[in-house]
Amino acid sequence: MFYLLKLLCGTRKSLFLSRKILTPESQLKKSKAQQKTVEERAAERAARKANNENNNIFPQSNKEKRATILSRNTAYQKEYEAAERAIVEAKREARKTGAYYVEAQPKLVFVVRIKGINKIAPKPRKVLQLLRLTQINSGVFIKVTKATSELLKLVEPYVAYGYPSYSTVRQLVYKRGFGKINKQRIALSENSIVEASLGKFGILSIDDLIHEIVSVGPNFKQANNFLWPFKLSNPNGGWGVPRKFKHFIQGGSFGNREEFINKLVKAMN
């Protein structure tokens, strides 16, 4: 009897083991993949939290942070409106006295690559790579300096550029904006993404980022490098010129188009 019971127990154990062994391999792989995903997400949340704590120069609760962002946005709006009024009043005063109003030299340009890789000399090709314009219809912001002006001259036949307005910058960032985080292209869907990378520079929100770009502030380099080059579309209705690869002032598309860059970006955005 004892031997019979032992034999039955052994049979049940072998059946249990066989069932365990016969678990579908696809199910095992799926379980492992799910577990790995859970662990990766937990690690990512922990890293993001630690990064936020390290980069945030103003430790605040979420409520205080929202209040800070809101007050900054209000201040930015007043600043933009005051700047526009100042220009209008200066032009009005100039007309009264019979003088000419000359606006300050722009500090920011937006550059769009309009030519592909064919028939580009090595030096301009290298400059395009330096400016992060590696694809056709890609665009970047550039601070106007003597050095960048010389670089733009070298690649002028392959790009269109000009002076973007606040509205253009805002629409680009909100519609086409992506950040560079750990060499990955991440959509700017919430303020925490910006804060995680630029919080140590006092840039806590997307509007802070826009203001830093528009005003070419002290942290422009960090803010601009954080932005992934914008991927634009072909202009709605085409380029509207018979010869695309002629200078803008000759009826073409490339070169400096000053404030008319806003119209082009609107058609490509």
Which has the higher per-residue pLDDT, 17 or 186? 186
For the chain, the residue count is 269
Cβ–Cβ under 8 Å, residues 145 and 186: no
Tell me which of 195 and 238 has the higher pLDDT.
Answer: 195
Residue 214, amino acid: V
Task: Give the full edge-to-edge strand order of the sheet including 108-113.
Answer: 230-231, 138-143, 108-113, 159-162, 255-256
Distance between CA atoms of residues 251 and 56, nearest Å: 50
Backbone dihedral angles phi then psi of residue 165, each to the nearest 5 degrees = -85, 170
Q: What residues does each domain of the chain span?
A: 2-54, 108-268
Which of 115-129, 138-152, 181-195 has the highest average model confidence (pLDDT)? 138-152
Look at residue 75 and tell me whether its pLDDT is greater than 80: yes
Tell whether domain 108-268 is in CATH 3.40.1480.10: no
Phi, psi of 185 (to 5 degrees): -95, 110
pLDDT at 147: 94
Claim: this prediction has a pTM higher than 0.75: no
Q: What is the pLDDT of residues 92-143, one digit of tens each?
A: 888 888 888 888 888 999 999 998 888 888 999 999 999 999 999 999 999 9
Crossing angle (nearest 10°) for helices 261-268 and 166-176: 20
Yes or no: say if 173 and 188 are a contact pair by the CB < 8 Å rule. Answer: yes
Examine the pLDDT at 207 and tell me if it is beyond 90.
yes
Nearest to 230 by CA among 152, 177, 189: 177
The answer, yes or no, to whether residue 16 has pLDDT greater than 50, is no
pLDDT on residue 7: 47
Work out the end-to-end distance of the chain between its first and last CA atoms, rounded to an integer number of angstroms.
85
Mean pLDDT estimate for the chain: 84
Average pLDDT of 204-228?
A: 94
Which carries the bigger pLDDT value, residue 52 or residue 38? 38
**DSSP states of 189-230 as a string?**
-SHHHHHHHHGGGT--SHHHHHHHHHTT-TTHHHHHHHBPPE
Written as six digits, the tokens of 161 are: 């550029």
Residue 13 has pLDDT above 60, yes or no: no
pLDDT value for 96 = 86
**Residue 17: predicted pLDDT:** 47
DSSP label at 6? H
Residue with tokens 């007043």: 78
CA distance 81 to 76: 9
125 burial level (CB within 10 Å; 0-12, 13-18, 19+): middle
Q: Looking at residue 62, what is its pLDDT?
A: 77
